[in-house]
Amino acid sequence: MSSSLTIAASGMNGSALRIEASASNVANARSNGPVPQTPPDRPVPRSDDPRSVYQPVDVVQVSTGSGTAARMSERLPAYELRYQPDAPFADARGMVAAPNVDYTREIADQAASVAAFKANAKVFSTASEMARTVIDMKT
């Protein structure tokens, strides 16, 4: 595959991963849980307890020699304390842990990801058209 196609494909994959991360954050934004033993500036430990607070994710995308590489990473701070004394898992102070998810940020991330995906798709399309033109010129 030509370098422009490789670069565009890696950008499209990164954008798709950003949409996946944001969708997960939005879907779990109201997944409050008991206050974890770890402070908010540390990732929430994985737990089989369905009541545990959701650990939001971000995507880290870095430039490589042939495009970009993207991976999910835990968002920090992971949660914030909210007063919800009627929750069955509230602590003695009436506090619960709420995922650090801001809908405005998620919408902006989704819009930027869609725009980046479209731009990379256009690069992919243009590179393919250029390759077809070159092949047509030789025949």
Render pLDDT for 36-71 as a digit per residue (tens, 0 to 9). 999 999 999 888 888 899 999 999 999 998 899 999
pTM of the model: 0.88
Q: Which of 90, 80, 77 is nearest to 42 (CA)?
A: 77
